[in-house]
């Protein structure tokens, strides 16, 4: 695939939370084309080692914003996008879909993608597969050895998930200023509350996205010409294109 074909997805733990600059420097030193700073999700080993790896989502947002400022400074010298911010900025600044399943309404789980496990079981997302590994197969859509395509992708299970995963009718999301740019995660909602739809205000998912959106919109409101060009290079996926508004 070549040098431009592979990146390393960075998952933030309590160990790396306050070492973001060093992590970013290492990505640059290793020649990666960018970085995706991802928060810890409550599945698998992350749950088993929560005391060691976990942190408050407010702390993640604070660390992420500091990291993003550092990355913007790096981009004055070289093209090195932060991919999560790029996805959010693309949703804000352009009419085009990013294809990012976590921020679709209705949820992209099972619609924009699906996970086939080793035994033929099908899940709407990798998080749903991980939840099954933890002992809860609530999101199992069926099995390729037993069920038809129509039963799996047109059945009551997936239809029910989609019905409960639209931000336009989700409590607090329905009247949020960032509704057009955000999404919902029915698998995480179910894990944390027992329901695929829940009141999102104050949840880790909401804290993370609201905090980052707040910063991005403040950046867009007061950005310099240099920052504007950096942002449009990220959105354009081009190391050379400049945009002058």
What pTM was computed for the model? 0.89
pLDDT band at 221 (very low <50, low <70, confident <90, very high): very high
Distances (CA, A) of 208 to 31, 57, 97, 127: 28, 6, 21, 18
pLDDT of residue 44: 73
Q: Averaged over 206-232, what is the pLDDT?
A: 96
Roughly what angle, to the nearest 10 degrees, separates helices 225-236 and 204-222? 130
DSSP state of 96: S
Question: Tell me: the pLDDT tens digits for 72-93?
Answer: 999 999 999 999 999 999 999 9
Question: Tell me: the pLDDT tens digits for 145-172?
Answer: 999 999 999 999 999 999 999 999 999 9
């Amino acid at each position: 695939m070549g040098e431009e074909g592979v990146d390393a997805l960075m998952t933030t733990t309590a160990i790396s939370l306050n070492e973001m600059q060093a992590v970013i420097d290492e990505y640059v030193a290793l020649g990666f084309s960018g970085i995706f700073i991802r928060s810890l999700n409550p599945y698998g080993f992350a749950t088993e080692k929560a005391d060691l790896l976990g942190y408050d989502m407010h702390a993640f947002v604070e660390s992420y914003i500091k990291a993003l400022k550092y990355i913007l400074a790096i981009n004055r010298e070289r093209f090195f996008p932060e991919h999560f911010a790029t996805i959010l900025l693309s949703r804000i600044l352009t009419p085009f879909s990013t294809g990012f399943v976590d921020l679709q309404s209705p949820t992209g789980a099972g619609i924009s993608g699906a996970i086939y496990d080793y035994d033929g079981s099908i899940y709407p997302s990798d998080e749903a597969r991980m939840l099954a590994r933890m002992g809860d197969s609530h999101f199992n859509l069926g099995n390729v050895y037993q069920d038809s395509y129509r039963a799996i992708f047109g059945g009551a299970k997936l239809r029910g998930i989609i019905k409960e995963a639209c931000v336009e009718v989700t409590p607090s999301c329905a009247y949020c200023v960032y509704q057009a740019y955000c999404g919902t995660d029915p698998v995480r909602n179910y894990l944390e509350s027992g329901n695929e739809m829940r009141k999102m205000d104050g949840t880790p998912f909401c804290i993370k996205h609201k905090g980052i959106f707040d910063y991005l919109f403040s950046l867009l409101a007061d950005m310099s010409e240099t920052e504007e060009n950096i942002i449009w290079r990220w959105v354009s996926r081009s190391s050379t294109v400049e945009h002058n508004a």
